[in-house]
Amino acid sequence: MRSAKVNAFSSLGPTADEVCRQVERILTSEEFHAPKRGRNFLEFVVNETLAGRSDFLKAFTIANVVFGREASFDPQNDPVVRIEAGRIRKALERYYLVAGERDDVVITVPKGGYVPHFEYARDAPTPTEPVETSDNAQNVEYEDQSHSLEEAPRPGLVTLIGLVTALAVVLALLLLALTFALSSRDAPTAALPLTRPEPKVIVEFFAESSPADVGSDIARGLRDDIIGQLAQFDDIVVVADPLRDERVSAADYILQGNVQIDGSRLRAAARLVHQVDGAVIWANNFDGDLQNQNQLVIQGNFARKIADAIAQPYGAIFQTDTDMIARTAQMEDRSAHECTFVYSSYRQTMTAQSHSAARECLQQATQRFPDNATSWALLSMVYLDEIRFRHTLGTVSSTQPLALASAAVKRAASLAPDSPRVLQAQMLVSFFRGDIDEALKAGTAAYAANPDDVEVAGEYGLRLAMSGKWQSGCELLSIALNKGIGTRGYYEVGMALCAFMEGDLEEAEKWSRRSDLDDNPMHRLVLLSILGAAGKTDEAMLEKDWLNIHAPILMTDIRQEVSLRLQLPEDQERFLNGLRASGLVISPLSAR
């Protein structure tokens, strides 16, 4: 990526006028989905950069000038600037995928800061004619200029230096080629690192089965909304131009669909096709009523459901690629991207073997690709699971996993502080460190950055609930559960706790028994507390016997495990009272 400084006399990057025209084009486009303050944010950071004041583009400055925050604004406690920057990045991505795919100038706001970058599109012609200078040319800042015009070397000296430099470069390249040929002559092919890129998804134009023009409008609008939703996922590449043959042939998946209208009834059908073998790996229909709901609302709902079903961490693409990677890739050959699928597989199985595989894969990924923030974030959560799921995974009690998780998430945050996955990891590590304020702050930012991420919504909902904010936390858990994607059993146990804390023991037992986490000791402990509080001693006895056999270490210090999760003393006591009612002997807090 080029420097954000713009040189009006350089052929390497766009001129200031070109950037200003591009900003105007973006802001006036209907495909740039950003609120007024987001548009003000983009204009401000671009203007400040063009004026040579990019060094002052800090969260505090933007919050004061753009958002009207007071001088007491603390960016550590108020993530408004980070959240708005994340929204602008997604809005720009959508714009260039839908309306700006043929624009000559590309504007981005790279993660990790607020300074925009400007560059020509890959296929755009760069200017070759010199630009006339103005009387103020001496005020323009050059990117790589080390000599003034008065100090420029003589032409003869320039020619001599150029020849010597060129000869040195040629000799260096010849030596490098010879060294590579000798070193690789006997090297086994398997030793070369394999990197598997993110899966590419072509979104085809949707067909429409309606004589009315409204059918075509909805088909186009729905496709655009789907592209916008898919563009929010960092783990896939969405291609919006299916007419270019080379792009289609390079895609892993094709999303096809059609729109049908019968009176006021609207139906959208979509299917995801695996390019290699033509297999349909996912398909579904979505129905709406144009009389009862606005067309744009229906389109947005359909697009979210389709994107969730195929691109969420537990969606159709992840499921297919996880199976394929497990069959074809050796551990030492896996790329950083492939390790995200290994992690996804582990989260669904939650076994000691899959945990070990995910940990090893991510450790190697962070060594081979040390600047991959997602790998560091996932590794931190894998380390943390050795504490929060230690009775399931069979890991020993130790402070080392928390220290490793903290170090890994710190590294991830230094690389991509606004990434929802990094913020999710920060939330979990902070929660289990006991820093609840920091945990909820990170969770708020993660959810604001991508509210459609089921895993983020579910984990954030659990942290809110277990911090004592049961109403808002349980609402988020319910939303995550209704998506129908991911670790449903995990969310169902959370809903059981929600009902238990509300005093609805019947509903709590239903949620708990609905969960498929029978091998999870903490799930069994939740059910035991519910049964004890409900006075179902015979059924509670069965749960106690299972726990004594399969999780004897948990039974020796239940209070510690409960206090690690439930933050309010009154919530802890309510849970422990249910266990006491089941017949367990748990010492009062004052006796410890």
Give the position of tokens 């996955």: 421
- The SS3 of residue 268 is strand
Average pLDDT over residues 564-589: 90
Rounded to whole angstroms, the Cα distance separating 4 from 114 reads: 11
User: What are the tens digits of pLDDT across the range 95-111?
Assistant: 888 888 889 899 999 88
Which is it for the CA torsion 481, 487, 492, 494, positive or negative? negative
Q: Does the pLDDT at position 123 exceed 70?
A: no
- The interaxial angle of helices 436-449 and 454-466, nearest 10 deg, is 150
307: left (phi over 0), alpha (psi -120 to 50) or beta: alpha
The token pair at 158 is 């320039």
User: What are the tens digits of pLDDT across the range 246-261?
Assistant: 545 567 888 988 888 8
Q: Does the pLDDT at position 566 exceed 90?
A: yes
CATH no., domain 487-592: 1.25.40
Stretch(es) of the chain classified as CATH 1.25.40.10: 317-470
pLDDT confidence tier of residue 170, bands split at 50, 70 and 90:
very low
Strand partners, 458: none
Min mean pLDDT across 325-329, 334-338, 447-451 is at 325-329
Phi, psi of 255 (to 5 degrees): -100, 120
Q: Does the pLDDT at position 244 exceed 70?
A: no
- Alpha helices by DSSP H, 350-399: 352-368, 373-388, 390-393
| Contacts with 437 (C-beta within 8 Å, 6 or more apart), sequence order | none
Q: Does the pLDDT at position 501 exceed 80?
A: yes
Is pTM, for the whole model, over 0.85?
Answer: no
Stretch(es) of the chain classified as CATH 3.40.50.10610: 200-311
* Percentage of the chain lying above the pLDDT 70 cut: 76
Q: Are 475 and 456 in contact (CB under 8 A)?
A: no
Mean pLDDT of the chain: 78
Q: Are 256 and 240 in contact (CB under 8 A)?
A: no
User: What are the tens digits of pLDDT across the range 404-416?
Assistant: 999 999 999 999 9
Average pLDDT over residues 319-338: 52
Q: What is the pLDDT of residue 589?
A: 62
Rounded to whole angstroms, the Cα distance separating 473 from 456 reads: 12
Q: Are 573 and 579 in contact (CB under 8 A)?
A: no
Rounded to whole angstroms, the Cα distance separating 431 from 104 reads: 46
The token pair at 153 is 């070397």
Q: Tell me the pairing of strands 207-209 and 253-262.
A: parallel
Q: Are 303 and 218 in contact (CB under 8 A)?
A: no
Average pLDDT over residues 491-512: 94
Q: Which of 75-84, 142-151, 161-170, 422-431 has the highest mean pLDDT?
A: 422-431
Q: What is the pLDDT of residue 408?
A: 96
Q: Are 219 and 259 in contact (CB under 8 A)?
A: yes
Rounded to whole angstroms, the Cα distance separating 336 from 325 reads: 12
Q: What is the pLDDT of residue 386?
A: 94
Q: Does the pLDDT at position 192 exceed 60?
A: no
User: What are the tens digits of pLDDT across the range 127-149?
Assistant: 444 444 333 333 333 333 333 33
Q: Considering only the top CATH level, what class is 200-311?
A: alpha beta
Give the position of tokens 């299972």: 546
Q: Which of 80-84, 191-195, 445-449 has the highest mean pLDDT?
A: 445-449
Which is it for the CA torsion 338, 450, 402, 414, positive or negative? positive
Q: What is the pLDDT of residue 175?
A: 52
Q: What is the pLDDT of residue 305?
A: 86
Position with higher pLDDT, 318 vs 509: 509
Average pLDDT over residues 432-447: 92
| Single-letter residue type at 291 | Q
Average pLDDT over residues 46-73: 80
- The SS3 of residue 255 is strand
User: What are the tens digits of pLDDT across the range 156-167?
Assistant: 444 444 544 555
Residue 549 CA from chain centroid, whole number = 39
Assigned architecture for domain 317-470: Alpha Horseshoe (1.25)
Q: Does the pLDDT at position 327 exceed 70?
A: no
Q: Kindly provide the b/e burial profile for residues 379-400, where b requires at least 16 CB atoms within 10 angstroms of the residue's own CB.
A: bbbbbbbbbbbbbbbeeeeeee
The token pair at 252 is 């892993």
CA distances (Å), origin 339, targets 236, 364, 443: 14, 9, 24
Q: Does the pLDDT at position 294 exceed 80?
A: yes
- The SS3 of residue 257 is strand
| Contacts with 252 (C-beta within 8 Å, 6 or more apart), sequence order | 199, 200, 201, 274, 275, 276
Q: Does the pLDDT at position 31 exceed 60?
A: yes
- The SS3 of residue 207 is strand
3-state secondary structure 301-323: HHHHHHHHHHHCCCCHHHHHHHH
pLDDT confidence tier of residue 484, bands split at 50, 70 and 90:
low
User: What are the tens digits of pLDDT across the range 532-548?
Assistant: 999 999 999 999 999 99
Beta strands, E only, 420-495: none
